[in-house]
Structure formats: C-alpha cells, structure tokens
Chain A
C-alpha cells in the first residue's frame, strides 16, 4: 500500500515537473526543474530497489549536470524567447496532437506485452542474471553484485564507458580549451575588435 502511494506521488511530481519545464520560458528555472526531475527519478530508482542507479542519477543527473547547465547558461546568456513570439505557425495544433496521441497509444499498447516488474519468468531474470546472482560471490568475493558485473564480468563495457567519458573531456578541451596564456587571448581579442 505504502509503495503505491510513494510511486503515485513520485510519478505525479515527475509529470508536473516535466510539464512545467515545457511551459516555462525562463532557462534558469528550467535547469532547476531538470535537477528536480533527476532527483525524483533517483527516488523512483530507490523505490525499485536499484540504489546503485539511484546513486548515479542523484550525483550525475541532479548534481553535476545542473551545475554544468548553469555554467553553460552563464556562458551563452540568452533567454529563450516564448515559442509563440518566434514565428507564425505553419499548421494547426491538431496535427502534432494527433501524431502524439497515435504514438502514445502505440507505446501504451506495447507495454501490455512487457512482463510485470520483477516477474520471475521474464527474460531479464532467466538468462544470465540468475547465473550472476548464484555465482558472483564465490567467483569474485564481492558482495555487491552490481559492482562485480560492472567491473569484472562486463569489464570490457566499462572500459568503453571510461573511454567515452575521457573522450568527452578531450572534446570539451578541443572546443573551448584553448591556451591559458593571457597574451594570446588578448591578441586574439584585439584582432577581433579591430
């Protein structure tokens, strides 16, 4: 009973946050709502017994992403104009509404065939998960099976993930890193202002 109350509350807040971030035009407020959205998702992951995922979502989604988006906002400093002020509409609102309703109902129809949450007979539980749960502790001596799968059984995947993170850092450095020496920066600015 209490689970259902928590689920419904969190999902209702998620929906409210999503709609609010669509309706708002103040980018600062939207970034804050994104942070709240991530925190609510983290709460949902905790309810679904996935503390590792919740941890990542809270740290990365609610923490770092919000800070980075705020930093970007300070960098670009351009408030979003209300969408209706941008350009005259080329079509009626009915077309997108119909598209969304059809896509949405197709997705909902698709969920009917999905096995229930945590159903023992579902493919996710019967394939390799069973093997990990039975043998991970004896084979690796690590009680947290998520860590055992992440770092040992699927170590190659995680290596790829680390390389992705590293590549992101390299990309940022290449795009906006530049030299830190002030003389080159000033010289460039002088050339630009002339």
Chain B
C-alpha cells in the first residue's frame, strides 16, 4: 500500500488512545456503562485501524494468527473455568460468592474475571474475522495480477 504520512501520524496518535479506552471500558464496566463485549470490540478496532493503515502483514506481526485462535479459546476457558472453580469451592456453577472472603468480594472478583474472558474472546474473534476476510481479498488480487 502507498504510505500516507497524515494517516500514519493520526493512526499512531489514535491507536494508544483507543487501546486505553478499551481497557477503561473493560475494567470500569462495574461502575459505568461498558463491559467485556464493548471493550473487546473497541480493542479489536485499534488493531483493525493499524492493519488498515500499515498493512496486513505488519499487523499480523503484532499478534500471529495462531495466537489469536488460542486467545479466543482462552477467553471461553476463563469464563467456564470461573464456573468450575466456584463449583469446586462449594457453590453452584458460576455462583461467585465463594471465590472471595465474603459475598461482595467474591462477586466482584467473579464478575471481573468473567468480563475479562468475554473481552478476550470477543477481541480475538473480531480480529480473526477481519484478518481472514482481508487476507483473502489480498490473495485474490495477487492471483488476479499473475
């Protein structure tokens, strides 16, 4: 892709802000609007913007595809794992009360971990879908040119 100075500068300025906002939405979801789903999407937007401006090859160097696949699965495992842990600690499945010293602490920890799992899965799945779609477009162009 032809390098564009304005796009590069603006993207480099915006991407840290987007990631910071995603983390804020992720971990402040208990107190304000937001949570894992929104944070995951916002986080993936940062990487998609990077891929749009700096090219797909460069973006895939940050997070290789096979890592993304594992992270997506890891999110589901974290979520389901919290349920199993609460089961082992004597509660019902996904009843976070027994995770902490008292009910409120347990619930807080449980919600935080669960939202983390949601965010991980959503972010990696969104990035994976985008990478796969665009990579195919690039491949088709490459094949057509030959």
Contacts and interface: CB of A to CB of B under 8 A. Distances in A.
Contacts of B136: 75, 176
Contacts of B121: 162, 165-166, 169
Contacts of A30: none
Contacts of A55: 25, 33-34, 38
Given A74-B137, A169-B128, A56 B79 contact: no
A189 B72 CA distance: 31
B129 interface: yes
A54 B140 CA distance: 37
Contact of A52 (B35, B75, B110, B140): B35
A72 B133 contact: yes
A123 interface: no
Contact of B118 (A142, A156, A158, A177): A158
Nearest to B134: A71
Judged by DSSP, the binding face of B is helix
A148 B107 CA distance: 9
B114 A158 contact: yes
Interface string B59-71: 0000001000100
B38 A56 contact: yes
Interface in A102-160: 138-144, 146-148, 150-152, 155-156, 158-159
Nearest to A168: B125
Nearest to A69: B133
Contact of B133 (A60, A144, A176): A176
A142 B48 CA distance: 32
A59 B38 contact: yes
B98 interface: no
B125 A166 contact: yes
12 contacts: A54-B33, A63-B45, A75-B133, A75-B136, A140-B108, A148-B107, A156-B93, A166-B125, A169-B128, A172-B128, A172-B133, A185-B139
Q: Report, nearest first, the 7 A-B pairs whose CB atoms are least far apart.
A: A169-B125, A141-B104, A51-B33, A71-B133, A155-B94, A140-B107, A151-B111
Interface of B: 25, 29-38, 41-42, 44-45, 48, 65, 69, 72-73, 75-76, 79-80, 83, 93-94, 96, 103-105, 107-108, 110-111, 114-115, 117-118, 121-122, 124-126, 128-130, 132-137, 139-140, 143
Interface of A: 51-52, 54-56, 59-60, 63-64, 67-68, 71-72, 74-75, 138-144, 146-148, 150-152, 155-156, 158-159, 161-163, 165-166, 168-169, 172-173, 176-177, 180, 185, 189
Given A143-B30, A150-B35, 16 more contacts: A52-B34, A60-B37, A60-B38, A63-B41, A63-B45, A64-B126, A68-B130, A75-B133, A75-B140, A147-B35, A151-B35, A156-B94, A158-B79, A168-B129, A169-B125, A169-B128
